[in-house]
Amino acid sequence: MPKYQIFYKENRNIILSEDDTPKIIESSLKFMGENNILVLKKGAIIKESELIFHKSNSIIYIGKGTFTAKVSIFNDSIAYFGGSTFYNPVGRAYFKIAEHQQLFIGDNGLISTNVSIETNDAHLLFTEEGNTFKRKNMAGSIVIEDHVWLGRNVSVNKGSYIAFNSVVSANSMVNKVSRESGVVLAGTPAKIVQKNIFWRGNETNWYQETDTESWSTYEPTKEELTRVDYRQYIESINQVDLAHFPEKAAFQLTVLDRLYRKENPSVKIKDSDYLENLSYTVFYDKKFDAREYRVDLSRFNGKNIHEIAYERLDEEICLLYKHLLANSYVFHKQEKTTSILSKRWVYTPVELDKENATSVKKRGNLLYFTEYLGSKKTAAKDKKLLVIFSSNPSEQEKYNESMLIRSGFPTFPDIKRSLTKDTYIIRIVDFNLSSGSFYLNTANFVSFEQNIQELIKTFADYHSVPNNNIVLFGASKGATGALIHSLIGGYKLVAVDPIIDDRIYPNDGHLQKSFRKLDLTPRVNSLLSQANHVKRYIVNNHHVNYTYKQYAKLNKKENLIFYDTADEVDNRHPVILKSAIPEVLAMLNVLLNERLHL
């Protein structure tokens, strides 16, 4: 499978981009249904376009080159646009794919102005047959093979097929199958008016006399005359009837990739390796819509659902837990042998009611805790903000029923005693999935990162904290979150042994698989390439090789300062922070207070 970046949208809609960032310029992209996929191949640019997924379970696949058009796609449909086809931007083409049909536009084509291609009519037409009326205008898929030139104001109607190396004259209407290649179609309805032709997309308006003369004859290459039979790929796509969308989409995408690369169209379900990237939708299920969900675990000797899933004690319970996590449930209470889970936006931690934790706050889907060391009369330029991202929980607490404790909250609880004065502290809870998602977006919580960025900015603005006085800090998974958010927001950083690639933990040790990319190296490198030049410390220990070796894969290291504790005694990932507390405090205080110097 090609290497895609995955961008999750609401309602399990997904963008798969071979480029690091989808190139969508001055365009409108709307997902109005669910379980839809937009695929952008390397070099694909959507410009001045409008793409609307009106309903659900559909795929739009766009090859390299600039795509300018309006696309409306409805239920259970496919729109495939090959690479290196020119779409005239003067009058955008319109494509409508509806009634479970498919549209294929091949490579190296030319789509002129005001072209309209639709797999169905907008309304129903019936003819009388005996005692009833039967529909006359059934929908039909449309195929336009490679190297086809559609002139201005051409209409291509339902069920049409236009073969390789054909030209459709301006103002024509195609409404039938034409499998003969190398022809000119013209008229309403279009008919073959010339055979044995070949065309090229040269722009002739600027030709000098010598250009005109040199192009008066042409000998096409063997490659230019090679035809790909699209019917083989369509038959392959349609040969398997898979009811479950992720499996069906994974199979369809595998075939579309083979078409794009012009490889063998024969595909078996097992050949598809898209399923892991789409597996979040496997776990999503509309039946999980209640505010609270109770799981009877009486046969597990008092263990809660979180422990059973983590220890892989029962495959069925593990799968159920993933279903519940995918549907935004949070495990937060154990009543004897029953685990109780609530929707994330419904759940309110009991810690909010305790006198010693009255400043724990809930802002939308975020939980956080604030402290302040200093006088409210302090000048704005002297105010500081430390944002703490929690680490992994201790071995003793990793199965705790409290989501706050299980997510590693709080890290470094007594840190305020060691900080420079006039410092605000925000402790953000990793409030997602089973024990957190490393403060990263997941398929079930696509706005997590945005919410965190907004909290930091809103808090800093309200308390008049300058941007250069904000420092992010975390260890382990909290360091991962702090690193990402430092790069996104342009903040200073102290990150203690961040986990860049969670695949180093066997058996999905943090229950992240299916919800986000486990290897963050490409994303971190992309963010580093755009990062500002504030100080960012990465504290590590080369004796902890499984995390240390990940940092060698990072680019733009001038934007990071690595500090190796080189501690041979405390040489395990969980204790790096504990072994480096003096150094970490020194870094934090220097970053918070520019008047201090190491």
* Token pair for 314: 């029962």
Q: 588 near 577, Cβ under 8 Å?
A: no
pLDDT over threshold 80, residue 242 = no
**Residue 357 clears pLDDT 50, i.e. is over it:** no
pLDDT at 73: 98
pLDDT for 8 beyond 80? no
283 pLDDT exceeds 70?
Answer: no
At residue 358 the predicted structure's pLDDT band, cuts being 50, 70 and 90, is: very low
What's residue 282's pLDDT? 53
Binned at pLDDT 50, 70 and 90, residue 174 comes out as very high
- Identify the residue whose tokens are 């409306």: 72
H or E segment at 388?
A: strand 384-389
Q: What gap in Å lies between CA 241 and CA 302, rounded to an integer? A: 43
Of 42, 335, 126, 104, give the one whose Cα is nearest residue 236.
104
Looking at the predicted structure, is the pLDDT value of residue 411 above 90? Answer: no
The mean pLDDT value for 558-569 works out to 90
Q: How far is CA 78 from CA 139, 234, 360, 464, in A?
A: 14, 11, 48, 51
Is the separation of the CB atoms in 591 and 471 below 8 Å? yes
Residues 580 and 539: beta-carbon distance below 8 Å: yes
pLDDT confidence band for 93 (50 / 70 / 90)? very high
Task: Check pLDDT > 80 for residue 501.
Answer: yes
Of the candidate ranges 143-152, 399-408, 474-483, the one whose mean pLDDT is the lowest:
399-408
CA-wise closest residue to 562 among 586, 581, 541: 541
Say whether pLDDT at 287 is over 80.
no
Q: Is the confidence at residue 356, as pLDDT, over 90?
A: no
User: Which residues have CB under 8 Å from 240's CB, separation 6+?
Assistant: 248, 251, 269
Over residues 28-46, the mean pLDDT reads: 94
The per-residue pLDDT for 61 is 98
The alpha carbon of 292 is separated from its chain's Cα centroid by a whole number of angstroms, namely 28
Q: Is the pLDDT of residue 355 over 50?
A: no
CATH superfamily membership of 361-592: Alpha/Beta hydrolase fold, catalytic domain (3.40.50.1820)
Angstrom distance (rounded) from CA 305 to CA 341? 10
Average of per-residue pLDDT values in the chain: 90
Task: In whole angstroms, give the CA distance from residue 473 to residue 481.
Answer: 9
CA distance 416 to 472: 14
**Axis crossing angle, helix 245-261 with helix 230-238, rounded to the nearest 10:** 170
Output the CA angle 412-414-415, nearest 5 degrees.
Answer: 70
* Per-residue pLDDT at 360: 77
Give the residue carrying structure tokens 């030709």.
207
Q: Tell me if residue 82 falls in helix, strand or coil.
A: coil
pLDDT at residue 155 is higher than 50: yes
Mean pLDDT of 285-293: 79
In angstroms, the CA 73 to CA 36 distance is 10
Residue written as token pair 């995408």: 253
Cα radius of gyration rounded to whole Å, the chain: 29
Distance CA(565)–CA(596), nearest Å, equals: 22
Give the C-alpha separation, 574 to 544, whole Å.
Answer: 10
Average pLDDT over every residue of 389-398: 90
Q: Is 33 left (phi over 0), alpha (psi -120 to 50) or beta?
A: beta
Contact 119, 97 (CB under 8 A): yes
What count of other Cβ atoms lies within 10 Å of the Cβ of residue 530? 12
CA atoms within 13 A on the CB side of 379: 2
* SS3 state at 323: helix
CATH topology classification for 5-276? UDP N-Acetylglucosamine Acyltransferase; domain 1 (2.160.10)
Q: How far apart are CA 78 and CA 259, in angstroms?
A: 13
Per the CB < 8 A criterion, the answer to whether 85 and 109 are in contact is yes
Q: d(Cα 72, Cα 60) in Å, to the nearest integer?
A: 10
Rounded CA-CA distance 585/416 in Å is 10
Looking at the chain, the whole-number percentage of residues with pLDDT higher than 70 is 93
DSSP 3-state of 93? strand
- Measured CA to CA, the distance from residue 25 to residue 11 in angstroms comes to 23
Residues in the chain: 598
The residue that leads in pLDDT, 27 or 248, is 27
What mean pLDDT comes out for the span 478-490?
97
The closest alpha carbon to 120, from 98, 105, 135, belongs to 98
pLDDT tens-place string over residues 301-348 = 989 999 999 998 988 888 889 889 988 899 999 999 999 999 998 888
Residues 153-170 have a mean pLDDT of: 98
Whether 361-592 and 5-276 are alike in CATH topology: the answer is no
Give me the sign of the Cα torsion angle 378, 381, 382, 387.
positive
Using an 8 Å Cβ cutoff, are 525 and 501 in contact?
no
Lowest mean pLDDT among 24-28, 255-259, 280-284, 404-408: 280-284
Type and span of the H or E element at 373:
strand 366-373
Confidence of residue 285 (pLDDT cuts 50, 70, 90): low
Instruction: Please write the tens of the pLDDT for every residue from 414-473.
Output: 898 899 888 999 999 999 999 999 999 988 888 899 999 999 999 999 999 999 999 999
Reported as a single tens digit per residue, the pLDDT across 486-500 is: 999 999 999 999 999
d(CA 310, CA 399): 9
**276 pLDDT more than 60:** no
The residues spanned by each domain of the chain are: 5-276, 292-341, 361-592
Whether residue 373 has pLDDT greater than 90:
no
pLDDT category of residue 265 using cuts at 50, 70 and 90: confident
3-state secondary structure 23-77: CEECCEEEECCCCCEEEECCCEEEECCEEEECCCCCEEEECCEEECEEEEECCCC
Query: Is the pLDDT score of 515 beyond 90?
Result: no
Q: Residue 352 — very low, low, confident or very high, per pLDDT cuts 50/70/90?
A: low
